[in-house]
Chain A
Amino acid sequence: MIRIPCPFCGTRDHSEFAYGGDGAIIYPDLDAPMQDWHDAVFQRENICGRQVETWQHVNGCRMWLLVERDTMTHEIYSVRPAHPDMAQALEVTA
Chain B
Amino acid sequence: MTRFSAWNVFWNGVTGQKGWSRQWRDPEPKPRYDVVIIGGGLHGLATAYYLAKNHGIRNIAVLEKGWIGGGNAGRNTTIVRSNYTQPGNREFYENSLNLWEELSHELNYNVMFSQRSHITLLHSPGAVDATARNYNTMRLTGNADVEIWSLEQLQEAVPHLNYGADARFPIMGAAVHKRAGTARHDAVIWGYARAADQLGVDIIQNCEVTAILRDGDKVTAIETSRGKITTDKVGLAVAGNSSRLWNMAGMRHLPIESHKLQAFVSEPLKPLLDQVVVFGMGGAHFYISQSDKGGMVFGGDLDWYKSYAQKGNLPIVQDVAEAAMSVMPCLGRVRLLRHWSGVVDMSMDGSHFICKTPVDNLYLNAGWNYGGFKATPASGTYFADLIANDRPDKVIANHDLKRFERGLQLDERGAGPDPKLHG
**Closest 3 A/B residue pairs (Cβ):** A46-B243, A43-B253, A19-B305
Show the binding face of A for B, using Cβ within 8 Å.
1-2, 13-15, 18-19, 21-22, 35, 38-39, 41-48, 51, 53, 55, 71-74
Q: Is the CB of B313 within 8 A of A2?
A: yes
Contacts of B418 in A (CB 8 A): 21
Q: Is the CB of B243 within 8 A of A45?
A: yes
Q: Is the CB of A19 within 8 A of B304?
A: yes
Q: In the bound complex, what is the Cα–Cα distance between A46 and B314 (angstroms)?
A: 24
CB distance from B412 to the nearest CB of A (A): 17
Interface residues on chain B, size class = 20 to 34
**Which of B149-157, B206-214, B217-225, B254-262 contacts the other chain?**
B254-262
Show the binding face of B for A, using Cβ within 8 Å.
241, 243-244, 252-258, 304-309, 313-315, 348, 404-405, 417-420
Contacts of B419 in A (CB 8 A): 21, 44
Q: Is the CB of B306 within 8 A of A19?
A: yes
Q: Is the CB of B258 within 8 A of A46?
A: yes
Contacts of A39 in B (CB 8 A): 253
Q: In the bound complex, what is the Cα–Cα distance between A19 and B255 (angstroms)?
A: 18
Q: In the bound complex, what is the Cα–Cα distance between A38 and B244 (angstroms)?
A: 21
Q: In the bound complex, what is the Cα–Cα distance between A47 and B419 (angstroms)?
A: 15
Q: Is the CB of B309 within 8 A of A42?
A: no
> Are A38 and B404 also in contact (CB < 8 A) when A1-B314, A48-B244 are?
yes
> Are A48 and B258 also in contact (CB < 8 A) when A39-B253, A42-B348 are?
yes
CB distance from B351 to the nearest CB of A (A): 13
**Identity of the chain B residue whose Cβ is nearest the Cβ of A55 in the assembled complex:** B305
**Identity of the chain B residue whose Cβ is nearest the Cβ of A35 in the assembled complex:** B405
CB distance from B403 to the nearest CB of A (A): 9
Q: Is the CB of B255 within 8 A of A43?
A: yes
Q: In the bound complex, what is the Cα–Cα distance between A74 and B89 (angstroms)?
A: 34
> Are A71 and B313 also in contact (CB < 8 A) when A21-B418, A45-B243, A45-B253 are?
no
Q: In the bound complex, what is the Cα–Cα distance between A5 and B258 (angstroms)?
A: 24
Q: In the bound complex, what is the Cα–Cα distance between A4 and B197 (angstroms)?
A: 49
A-B contacts, 15 listed (Cβ < 8 Å): A1-B313, A2-B305, A14-B305, A19-B305, A42-B404, A44-B243, A44-B254, A45-B252, A46-B243, A46-B258, A46-B306, A71-B309, A72-B308, A72-B309, A74-B307
